[in-house]
Structures are given as structure tokens and as C-alpha cells.
Structure 1
């Protein structure tokens, strides 16, 4: 406020670093809000061209990181601002399909694949996430036409070695169960094969864990169940007693998806439902809706399991108990692998939603070990129908083995008190893809140019607050209004304030209300 008052009478306007940082962040979040704020005259802020010049001088474009000289430049700069405990990270890998086109802007042509002269059709994005903090950033962006497993392996290895050279400690690679990702990971061994743990490329004595994304597997289980062609859309699985984690290979159970549809049909006209949350969309999803994990959570729902268990003995629900037990098994696995906060289990009063530790009496570790045995028994059934497909079953088993080994390594070797398995997922990367599409105007198929521009804006929003503490280069603070205000003893009386108030432009109530609304939204957005 003091600076704004002094700016009213300044002949040569020069802004402090704090004001420049605030203005840059505000304009990257919403150019329209920034334009409105300047037009009201309530605050004296830099011209948009000044903001563009400042932002363009800060190298945040992901395309800059593509060359060998500036490879991983952004995460290298970010590393300087991290504390020691934040250096242990996982590397997430996923791809986003884009609109194949070449854009000409600012004298540059953007959109070509790095391995072809043609336009890129998809982008492989590498993101790192700290296991002990909220830090997460995109490390590298790779636009390609088509990519072979060998090429992806080389790039993955290059990124890991680059991160290790900077100072990060990469302990795991997290990705979905795509065949390309599996092939790339297999090549970390001399004789390529799938394994939960590989020798680390930076140090063969260290482990590199391979974890298949739990959210992806969760959706695959539901999709496998939906795709069964037998009568009743059934899974035939071995009995698993959750009370003592015992698996009974000779006792086959039947989980019928038809029972879920019958339950919904029976309760849909009722005001009070026992199978709370079950919807028609969750039971009959389109190919696009099958990617929505919220619909999966409507199927694997404790209310649905209890509603089915209550129908034990009904002629129309012959396999109600077995179906409820199957839902409870998958729900327990999901509760363990989806813990993102230390207090989740305490608030939900669920021991299986607490962080993992390496204690011998940890019930979560006992369940995961029994879960692996259960999958092994299920695999040996060799049925033509009623079982998980081989890719999903193998990925589930491998992921459980990898998570158990990861917990043991982090607690025993790295001396973690606990580990949150919800951080060993690709959810942050999927969320970043959503930001790309939203900031590009709500488009689903964005271009390479739009992806790079939105990533640059996100990086600016993350980096500018840190730069304010290090005195932004290129933004001089000497002889600024802030310095002038602190170098002299200025006495401001009530009469002076009345005189300045008379010089300020009139602000009607609606404009003031809108201004407060915009500022509140901005503060909320930056807090989130």
C-alpha cells in the first residue's frame, strides 16, 4: 500500500521485485483478470508488454530442455531450492495424445517429432515427485511420431542419469502397464525380463523399483470384470479370508457383475438405497468413461458390498456373498496403495489406510503378501473365462512385490519412518495433463505448441515466488520506489491521505466488489 501511494506522485515509475513477481504471477494465471485490475485504476501495475519482456527473459520453455547443453535445466535450477529430504524422488512416465500439426509462431515452427520430420502424434512426459514432500515437477517432454521400446529405454536411462547427476535420488519408475513401457523396463537387465527390481543405471549396487500405477490397475480390474462373456459376467476366483489372510486354492468363489446391475435395478426407484452410490453409468460405461476412476469407485464400494451381503439366500442373488467378498478384497488392496496423507487411516478409523512401515506385525504388509499368493493361485486356474487377463494379473502381482520391496528399502536403508504408497502413482502426471487441456481452452487434443506454452506458464507460476527471495535477475531494485520509501523518513498525516484520496480515481461499489472477488480467487488459486 505504501508503494502504491508513492507511485501516484512518482515521475518515473519503477516497480519493486515483489510487485513485479505479483504482477507476473497474476497475468500468467489470468490475463483477463490482470487487464481488468489495471483498467479499474485501483492499483498501479506494470504494462502487459513489460510483463512479457520479464517472463521471456526467464528460460522456462520445456523445448529449451531438449538440447544436450540444457538437458533437464529447469529441474536443475529447482534442485537448489529443495531441502535434503526432498531429493528422494520417483520418476513417473506417461504419454498424452496430441493433435498432429505444425504451428508457426514467433519465427519458430513447433510441433515436429524429435525422431521424425513429421508432426508429432503423442508426447511422452517425465515427471519427478518427492516421497517426503509435496514437490513435483515435469522434468522432460518428448514429442514423437512413433517410439520403439529401445528408444524409450535410452531416453528413460538418460533422464535417470541426468537427475542423479544433478543430485536427485531416483528410486523407482512408475508408469502404466503399456507394452512399450514394459519393454523399456525389461532392458535394464542383460537378459530382458520383467522384474519388480532392477539394477540402478547410476549404481548397479542400488535398486531401481518398477511399479505399475495402482490407479491404472484398479481400472483394469473393473474393465476385465465387465468384459467377461460368461453367463452372469462372472469372475471365478479362489477364496480369500480377509480375517486371517488365508487363501484356499480348492475353494472357488463366483463374483457376478450381473448382481450389481440387478441390485441397481431393484433399488433405483427407491428413495432409501442400501447400495449407495451405484449408478447406471458406472455399470455400463462407455469406452471413454472406462478411464474415469470415480466410476470404478462406485463399483468397488463398501456400501455396495454390504448391500449384496444382506441379500444372502435370495434366489435372485445366488452369488451375492462371494461377489461382496471379491469387492472387499479389491477394496482392501486399494485402501493400502492409495494412502496420500499420514492421518488418513486415523480419520477413517481404518488401519489399512495408514502409512506403510517395515514392522513385522504390519497388517498391510501381511495382506499384500497374501494378495500375491492369491494371484498366484488364481493364475493356475487356467480357465478360458472368469479370470483376469494375463497382463493385468502379472502387473498386479509385480506391483505388489515391488511395493513391498520399496517399503523395506525406504525404511531399512533410507531410514524413512514410513512411506505413503499414494505417492507412488501417476496421479500428479494425469492432473498435469488435465491442466494442459484446461489452460489450452478446454480442448482434449492439444498441439505441441499449446502443451509447451501451458507448461511454461505453470513453471513460471511455480518459479517466480522462489525467485523473489533471490532477487530476480534483470529486474533492478536500486532506486526503486521501495528503496526510496525506506531511505527517507516520510511522515504521512491524515491531511496528506485525504489529499491523495481526492487524486485517486473514483471506484464504484460494483467495481470494488469485483476487484475483491478477483483478488480472493487469485489468493485461493496460489494457495492450492
Structure 2
């Protein structure tokens, strides 16, 4: 209906009413619009025209609502609500930038202290904070973007690596999604210490003895749902010179954690390095084995993508770059120089026959780990080009046979979709079935690789390494049995650290926290704190370890112990830095200054105060505490130890300021 307001302007009114049978009213007011914009029902409730349950019980109330509609003046929040209503009708609501803008507009309707952020914004905020905390604080302070508080973000991230979250996450999944694969691999770290979150990190957790060793690698264990679902980083262990016994213990602990969280482990997947081979041997050998801690069977398999890279790397690192093998009873030799000749001839053409690049043919040590470069060599186009230019470039038959064999094998193993073979019209990329030819082709490939295995000893010539051939023949499985997800995680962690290959454990941990937070929020789960952490600290607090009397401190000052110079220096710094904050009455603690000496004269280099004996006693007690506490002691024991110096602090009047 249309009506005229006090200024003579035409106002279009719309009321959406519903008839109800209720003792509290006969009409239910769904919404009221003025000129196409919705008026909040709270406006009529505050005026007394509408009950809080949106029911109308008298016709006079209805008439009052009609009269008050032209008088309503829209506020900024009303325009924002109207804009959000129109945006919600758009078909591109799944796009990330749309969701970001929609969330930011919605936050304009709430006060800063009452804001509730959606999960996508939490993940974006975590990414920004991990890359640069200073830039995050600058953006939040500017007000250009509404972002969560740093304290809240840190709390969510710090809680995202606890096992309770995995249990909560698995409970939200279907039963078949609780069948999981355990991926574990190592990432190279820079040997450095970082102070992060109040802790010094960078030491190896598998150290032997009391010596502290910097971590050289980060052992990461990831849980992946076998039939699709979230991926969860379970463990991050900074390690150095990790042996098979230590790795076995870490792996069994991770398997137990997954089992306690409600998951069922199908397989463990890793690369075929010597340490992993030894661990599999200690667990009963690769393949299907019975694991006592799970009380069930699981598959111990090797990642076929790592084997794919190892084949090429073995080929280019063997002397003369030649591999000898046997296929169908006929001996062949695959020569790398044929690949080089093909690249040199093909790079001259405007229309290339292959995808081979210079880096794929002449890779540096770090570039050998790139799978795309390996795919440029073992490619259908490479096989076709080798066959076409066979006589012109004098390419050996063995090179063509070997490249085609490995290319077809990788296509068979890398099947991840039901229609991949139909889309590419390639029989090798068809899903594996009970009677398919892929099993027969895999047996043929394994026979060829076994004929190319180096037996033992030094000086490998024309053969693959024993580790590559042994893992290839016995334990490789297709499709989802790969640690591709873990390699992708390592790449994401390196990108957060300006793209450097060598990162530290803080970068790995930050990437894991963000990844787990995303997985939890996608399933409407909130990271939970871990309340039942068993104490693994070996410190036993004894009172005699920390109790130091004034007499012992005076004996230290009079002795020739070199530590007294450091203690007195710090005490003098405390006197100069903080004594000015204490009034004269509070500062008189009844003891005299230390006797001036040549040492104290040299110490007072333009401003250091000669300390009181009570201050020296306090520093001496703190030093004794530091010496007796392990670097990795838990908070409970450290708090107990700190209580031992209360007597030293009580001597100093106003010691709380120091």
C-alpha cells in the first residue's frame, strides 16, 4: 500500500502477516518494509505497538504500526542489512572474495567487542599472523579490515595440535572416513634457535645424553582419511640423526594416538630411505603386517612418487648415466645421453615435440626433488619423440623401452579418479579392478626393475640402487597410497617463509597449526585445550638445591670465583635500572653497600650502581635456579623452583618492581 508522510512524499508500505490461532494474538508479523527496505521489528516493540513474540492481539496495534511506518528514519545499519540481503541472492556466493566482503559488511552491524567471525576469516587471519605478526597488528589497528584479536588467534592456533581435536574431528565423520593412512616424512631445517611463544625452540628432541643438539630435520606425521575427508598434522618432532629405534617409537606412539582418537589405521606410508626400511623390518617387514599396539593388521608401504623420482635420480647419478636391464628375455641399455640429444635437437624448433626443459635434463641437487621435472622426462610426448627421431639421433632401443615402461607404470599408479582413463583415452589410467590388465603390467614392470637392481658393494654401474629396486618390486601400491599430501604441506610451509627451501621448526609448526585450524573449522569444531598432559620432566625439586643464605652470597663476593663478576654486574644493573622507581623509605633495607674495590671501580663504567648485598643475594639465588633447572622442564616444576627464591626476594623491599 502507498501512503504520504509528513513532508508530502509518497511512501510504499509492505507488511507480511500470517494468521495464527493463539491466545496471545491472531496475527503474526513476519516483516515490514518501507520503500523496499525492511524495518526492524524491534522498532515497533519498543514503541509498544508489537509484542516481543511478534504477535498482534488488537486491531489498534495494527493501525499504530501503519501510522508509524512513514515516520521511521533508516539508519546506516539498515542500509547495510539491505545490502547484505541483496548480496545473499547472488549466484557467486561460493567465491572466496565474495565471502570475505560479505563477512566484512556483516561485521559493521556489531560493536567491536561483540563481533563473531566466520571460519574463513579465522583461517585468513591465522595465515596473515603466521606470515607477519607485525603486519597483522598494523592491519587490525588501522581498522581497514575487521580481524580477530591476537590473543584469541594465538589461543586457537596453540590448541590446534592437541590429540583431543583429532578425536573431535573423527567423531564428525562417517564410519568409512575414520579409516586413515599415516604419512611420515622429514623436512630439512636450518640449524638455528628461535624464541617463539615464550619458548626457545630449535633443539632436537631425540638427543642422546645431556648434550643439546640443534635439529637438522623436522619429522612430520600426518593423518589422511582414506576415503576422503580432512587432513590433520598429528606430530612435529625436531630431530637430528634420527635412528630406526627412535623412529619406531615415534611411529608406534602416533599409531596409538590415532587409535585412541577413534581412527582405524589402514597403512603407513613413507619414502624408501635406509632408516624407514629398517623401521619396517623391525615391525615385521613391509607389506601387510600385524601391529600389536593396534591389535590389527596394517599395510607398511612406500610412496610411489618418491620411487618415481629415485628412478630418474639413479639414472643420472650412475657412472656414464647408463642403466642395464632385461625385458622379455632381451637385454637393453638406457642411455641418458639420448635424452640430452633429444632436448638439444628439440629446443631449436618453434613448435616443441616434448615438454623437456633445461632444468629437467641438467637438474641441480635441490631440483632433483621436483616431480614436475621428472614428469617431463617420463612423458608420452617424450616416448613419441624418441621413437620418431630414433634413427636421426641414433637413439638406442633400450632408452625408448625404459622411458615408455616407467611412463606407463606411473600412469597406472597415479590413478586418483574414476574417469581419468576416459578423459585421456589411456588404458593405463583406468581404475584398478579385479580382472584388469594393470596387475599384469605391474608384474612385468617389477621383473624389469628387479633385473636392474645393484646387488651389493661399492661402485654401482648401470644399475638402480638396492633401496629403489627393492621397494619398487615388493611394496608399492597405487593411488591414494602416497605421501603427496605431506609433500604439499612442506611446500606450503616453505611458501610462508618467503619461498626458502630451508626453513626452521617454527615455520613448520605455524603451517601445521593453520592447516589443522582450517580442518577443524570446516567441520564446525573448535580447537580444544589439552588438560591432561602427563609430565615427562625428570626434574626432582630438592630444597637444598635452591636455598642460598646471605652468608653464602658474601662468601661468593669475597672469593675468586669468576661467576661473582657476572652476578655483581647484573645486581648493579638492577640497582641502577629499578631502584629509582622505589621511594627512599622503601629502598632502605638495612644492609650496607658492598665494599668498594678495584673491581667495583672498573665495573662502574659511567653509571652502574654499587649493588646492595640483598640484591646480589637475589641474583645469586636466581642464577642457582637457572643452573639447576633443565632447559626442557615443565611449567609445574619451574613454578615450584621459582618459589624457592621467595626468601631472597622478601629481603629486598619493593622487589616486585625488579
TM-score calculated relative to the size of structure 1: 0.72
Q: Which runs of 5+ in 1 are unaligned?
A: 66-71, 240-247, 404-420, 475-528
For 2:444, the equivalent position in structure 1 comes to: 370
8 Å CA contact retained: 2:231, 2:516: no
Determine the C-alpha separation between the residues in 1 that align with 2:460 and 2:511.
47
Determine the C-alpha separation between the residues in 1 that align with 2:119 and 2:437.
49
User: Cα distance 1:20–1:292, how it changes in 2: closer, same or farther (>3 A)?
Assistant: closer
For 1:147, the equivalent position in structure 2 comes to: 242
8 Å CA contact retained: 2:383, 2:400: yes
Q: Does 1:429 align with 2:480?
A: no
State the shift of 1:378 in Å: 4.2
User: Cα distance 1:89–1:259, how it changes in 2: closer, same or farther (>3 A)?
Assistant: same
Q: Does 1:277 align with 2:344?
A: no
For 2:311, the equivalent position in structure 1 comes to: 221
User: Cα distance 1:94–1:380, how it changes in 2: closer, same or farther (>3 A)?
Assistant: closer
User: Cα distance 1:301–1:272, how it changes in 2: closer, same or farther (>3 A)?
Assistant: same
User: Cα distance 1:253–1:83, how it changes in 2: closer, same or farther (>3 A)?
Assistant: same
For 2:324, the equivalent position in structure 1 comes to: 236
For 2:341, the equivalent position in structure 1 comes to: 262
User: What are the residue-to-residue correspondences of 1:112-511 with 2, within 5 Å?
Assistant: 112-116=203-207, 117-189=212-284, 194-203=285-294, 206-230=296-320, 233-239=321-327, 248-249=328-329, 251-274=330-353, 276-314=354-392, 316-319=393-396, 321-357=397-433, 359=434, 361-379=435-453, 385-400=461-476, 403=477, 421-467=478-524
User: Cα distance 1:61–1:96, how it changes in 2: closer, same or farther (>3 A)?
Assistant: farther
User: Cα distance 1:376–1:426, how it changes in 2: closer, same or farther (>3 A)?
Assistant: same
User: What are the residue-to-residue correspondences of 1:7-156 with 2, within 5 Å?
Assistant: 13-15=112-114, 17=116, 19=117, 21-30=119-128, 39=142, 45=146, 48=148, 51-58=149-156, 60-61=158-159, 65=162, 72-116=163-207, 117-156=212-251
- SS of residue matched to 2:479: helix
User: Cα distance 1:473–1:435, how it changes in 2: closer, same or farther (>3 A)?
Assistant: closer
Determine the C-alpha separation between the residues in 1 that align with 2:460 and 2:512.
46
**How many equivalent residue pairs?**
418
Q: In terms of Rg, which structure is larger?
A: 2
User: Cα distance 1:273–1:121, how it changes in 2: closer, same or farther (>3 A)?
Assistant: closer
Determine the C-alpha separation between the residues in 2 that align with 1:5 and 1:100.
45
Q: Report the aligned-residue RMSD.
A: 3.0
User: Cα distance 1:176–1:201, how it changes in 2: closer, same or farther (>3 A)?
Assistant: same
8 Å CA contact retained: 1:26, 1:34: no
State the shift of 1:302 in Å: 1.2
Q: Which runs of 5+ in 2 are unaligned?
A: 1-79, 85-103, 130-134, 530-658
Q: Which structure has more RCO (C-alpha within 8 Å, separation ≥ 6)?
A: 1
TM-score calculated relative to the size of structure 2: 0.58
